[in-house]
Amino acid sequence: MHDRGISILEKYDLEASAASRGRGALICQTGQGLVLIREYYGSIRKLEYQAKLLEKISGQKEIHVDTLKRNKEENYITVDKENIPYLVKNWYDGKECDTQSRKDIMRSVKALASLHKTMQMPVWEHYVRESLLSEYERHNRELRKIKKFIFQKHQKNEFERCYLEHADRYLCCAEEAFKRISQSSYDRLRTVSLERGCVCHGAFHQHNILMWDSETAVVNFDNWNYDVQMADLYQFMRKILEKHGWDKELGKEMIQSYCEIRPLIKEERENLAVRFAYPEKFWKLANYYYTHNKVWIPKKNLEKLKKLISQYEKWLEFVESINTLEK
């Protein structure tokens, strides 16, 4: 049995009968069911807010979540003999969302919609996400800076040559998206979302969605934040659609599935459409390049860039099709 972290279970009146490794964690079978143990170095106060959010969602009994366990001292964090802080969460024996399964994708979207109906809390300003206007403006500034940096290099590697060749058209898309968000109803939508205390999961992707029988669990809420909830829907859809070559019918079906549980208002449809018009993946690859070792570029990053470029026309077609959401 894996020993690291298991010793803290005695402080929860739990005993592990079996244990296995998860993603950076330890999953244990106990008399109270499955629990997950992992190290935690984040904010205690944010964790307490997270615990309240999870209890609220759990109380609705629609979607399972990884609620946090308190130890005998009623604390969420337990320090072991080596002074390593751990948290313990309820866990589930399910499979991750299969990104090639339409059934799994639609179940996931409906689970997200159910979460969004429940996820509201009094706002703590420290965890309000940056405005999309500010984010796009900053990202566009960074894209121009990276383009200039690469242009001025005498010796360019394959990633840099490929980036430079396509930078202008992606930057043009980025600037157009910023113009659209500036002229949209985004400010009003964000203000209303914050007044209502709308919360986003912050990392809603296939690895954080577990399924078994007819049940669904959403886990790992560490990146929760206050924001327009279209941020979650957009991030999940973008990751799925990139894997499906920007399939317009799949995108339409995902939005319809979400709306079956939580209908979108006009301003949310407009916001979702604008988010898709921003070349976020291109910025991510450029930013990773600029903030890491520029001498050795990971082969996978070059492959990601080439795949992104190969999907350019399909992406634009999808953006054009989803623009009808604004109407």
pLDDT profile of the chain (327 residues), mean per 10: 75 91 89 94 95 94 94 95 94 97 98 97 96 98 97 94 97 98 97 98 98 97 98 98 97 97 96 98 96 85 96 97 72
Q: Same domain for 111 and 58?
A: no
In a domain, 23, yes or no: yes
In a domain, 1, yes or no: no
In a domain, 227, yes or no: yes
Q: Same domain for 214 and 307?
A: yes
In a domain, 210, yes or no: yes
- Could you tell me the two tokens for 158? 């394959």
The pLDDT value given to residue 139: 98
The domain that contains 41 carries what CATH number? 3.30.200.20
Which residues, listed in sequence order, are joined to residue 211 by a DSSP beta bridge? 95, 216
Q: Same domain for 68 and 137?
A: no
In a domain, 163, yes or no: yes
The pLDDT value given to residue 216: 97
The pLDDT value given to residue 22: 80
The pLDDT value given to residue 296: 80
Structural domain boundaries enclosing 294: 102-326
Q: Same domain for 302 and 246?
A: yes
The pLDDT value given to residue 1: 37
The pLDDT value given to residue 21: 85
Q: Which of 93, 114, 143 is the last residue of a domain?
A: 93
The pLDDT value given to residue 294: 76
In a domain, 69, yes or no: yes
The pLDDT value given to residue 326: 56
Q: Same domain for 88 and 106?
A: no
Rounded CA separation 100/119 (Å): 28
Q: Same domain for 46 and 194?
A: no
Q: Same domain for 261 and 121?
A: yes
Q: Same domain for 84 and 223?
A: no
Tokens 């859809």, residue?
A: 237
Nearest to 164 by CA among 179, 182, 145, 151: 151
Q: Same domain for 76 and 142?
A: no
Q: Which of 71, 93, 115 is the last residue of a domain?
A: 93
Stated pTM of the model: 0.94
Q: Same domain for 137 and 240?
A: yes
Tokens 């988010």, residue?
A: 275
In a domain, 201, yes or no: yes
Q: Which of 60, 93, 126 is the last residue of a domain?
A: 93
Q: How many domains does the chain have?
A: 2
Task: Burial-class residue 3 by CB neighbours within 10 Å (0-12, 13-18, 19+).
Answer: exposed
Q: Same domain for 129 and 251?
A: yes
Rounded CA separation 174/151 (Å): 19
